[in-house]
Structure 1
Amino acid sequence: MNRRRFLVAGTVTTVGALAGCLGDDDADDGTGATDGYGSEPETEPAERTIDTDAYETLEHDGVDVPLAPLEDVYYWYLRREARAVDTRGASSFEDARITGAALSPAPDGRDADDPVAEWPTDDRIVTYCVCPHAMAVQRAAALIDDGHENVYALDDGFNEWVDAGYPVEGDEVDDTDLDLPAYHVQGESDPAYEGEYVDVRTVDGDQRERSVVDADGTYELTLHFTGLEEESVLEVDAPDYTTEVTLEELTSETVTPP
């Protein structure tokens, strides 16, 4: 398999229009306890061959995670041949998710009643986030380490799924589009921590996004957090520091070690 180093998650595009592709908000019980499959499609794509051995991979904690491109994941989705796993927090999951996806946050899933725990280890699983794949790779690596044999991370991320007009559901989805906030964050860490994770989260930890430190010590990410105001306090957890800043400060200044 090919491998590329996981250095930095770039900016995430704003979520776009979703006309005609909305899912059923009754697909889960509010806890993400679904089977991970989408609704039965009206038409099923013809069977085709996918060379998954040709996928690029990212390594996390010694585990190689294959990166599945959007078109292959959507093909599996329409044929109900893959279970979708949302690796973000519960609040982000409730706001918007792939229709039918199960909630199993990075790195190790839910503390109790994690839906993936009941799935056969030979079932195909595709994890996703909006990083576009920082948390998805972390969760996928943990699943592989737990014995799941057919796990992939969505290479393009949730936003590309949305922009393609593929099925989504959630509290922030209406009949025409999904319009989540987009807050761009830039920060600096020690270049010695190249490839290490940076988390930005709400103080209750319910909403979070992840990036990694680039070779020059910088990092960037875009937050799609809901319910925030300029004075809302967020926590930045970099490899060499942890700090709390307001949303206004976070989006108007480069985050640096305190």
Structure 2
Amino acid sequence: MKRRAYLAASGTGALAALTGCLGVLGSGSSSVNHVGNLDADFAANADLPADDDPSDGYSPQYGDPETRSVDESRFGALEVNGETVTLVPVDVSHYWHQQGAARFVDARGLSQYKNSHIYGAVNSPATRNSQGGGISGWNEDDRVVCYCGCPHHLSSIRAAGLQKSGFSNVYVIDEGFFEWRDLGYPLMGTSFESSAARVIDGEVAASYAGEYAWATQPDSGQQEAAPIGEDGAFEIHLRFADLTDDTPIRVETPEFEVTRPLGDLTGGVLTE
């Protein structure tokens, strides 16, 4: 278990125009973005220790959390793309975050990550069928916590991909990113704002149960996914930045693909 502590950074909201340390790629590995290789000025939402290595997914230790017993036998789980993915409560993930005891992976699109993300997390988006591999340079035995905003569809897809590539200690934040944000836990970003949730209801043949429907904003790359239920129904919950009824959204299912203004996709059940 990796633990690190650093000197305090400058005051609340101080800009962190970090450069250097490139995201890592390797055979069978997924690309990684982080505040050190992105051309943006990031600010923290509180006084936080400096992060000397933004590519490693760890937050430096902060605060003074009391030692607590974590009973992982009480954690929930999901079956995703042939993998059993473990759900961790948001308060436990925050405890690990304070200790610098887990690497954090944001499974959303890059523009969502830039807008706001968990302090210290890297961006490694979910891919279809959990095809995203491991992360080069990370020990496969290290604790890794994935998250997204839906609250755990994209993150469970990404977690399954990590497990398929050999990572053995992977978790997903059960309540998702926005619960973390609403609790005032540490963030970094460029605005910390997001749109209210919008829902796309759809239906395909029941034979596609267990597969996924995806929604993507083509211009920004923001994406979300939802599993298809036993009756063929799905609900895609969007928490994208800068959404209006006129925003084009591409919906992809195993049965059809359409691109329409968001307002046209939220007025009923999408079937084609």
Q: What is the TM-score of this pair, normalised by structure 1? A: 0.79
Stretch moving more, 201-210 or 239-248: 201-210
State the distance in 2 between where 1:182 and 1:100 align.
Answer: 25
Q: Contact between 1:67 and 1:154, CA under 8 Å: does it hold in 2?
A: yes
How much does 1:24 deviate?
A: 6.2
Q: Following the alignment from structure 2 to structure 1, what is the Cα–Cα distance between the partners of residues 191 and 143? A: 28
Find out whether 1:80 has 2:81 as its counterpart.
no
2: CA distance, partners of 1:185 / 1:22: 35
Are positions 1:186 and 2:201 aligned together?
yes
CA contact (8 A) 2:132 2:162 kept: no
Q: Residue 36 of structure 2 corresponds to which residue in structure 1?
A: 29
Q: Percent identity?
A: 34
Choose from 231, 236, 252 the match for 1:216.
Answer: 231
Report matched runs for 1:1-258 at 5 Å: 25-26=16-17, 28-31=35-38, 34-41=55-62, 43-107=63-127, 108-109=131-132, 116-173=135-192, 178-204=193-219, 206-257=221-272
Contact 2:200–2:265 under 8 Å retained in 1: yes
d(CA) in 2 for partners of 1:193, 1:171:
39
Q: Cα distance 1:242–1:23, how it changes in 2: closer, same or farther (>3 A)?
A: farther
**Post-superposition offset of 1:22:** 6.6
Question: In the alignment, is the contact (CA less than 8 A) between 2:195 and 2:242 conserved in 1?
Answer: no
- In structure 1, the gaps of 5 or more residues are 1-20
Distance across 2 between alignment mates of 1:23 and 1:240? 48
Q: Aligned equivalents of 2:60 and 2:97: distance in 1?
A: 9
Q: Which amino acid aligns with 1:212?
A: P
Query: How many residues align structurally?
Result: 229
| Root mean square deviation, CA, Å | 2.6
Give the match's secondary structure for 2:195.
Answer: coil
Higher relative contact order, chain-length normalized (CA < 8 Å, sep 6+): 1
Query: Matched residue of 1:117: which SS?
Result: coil
Structure 2: 5+ residue runs without aligned partners? 1-11, 19-34, 40-53
Q: After superposition, what is the alpha-carbon deviation per residue over 1:79-106, rounded to whole angstroms, capped at 9, x for unaligned?
A: 1101110001111111111111101111
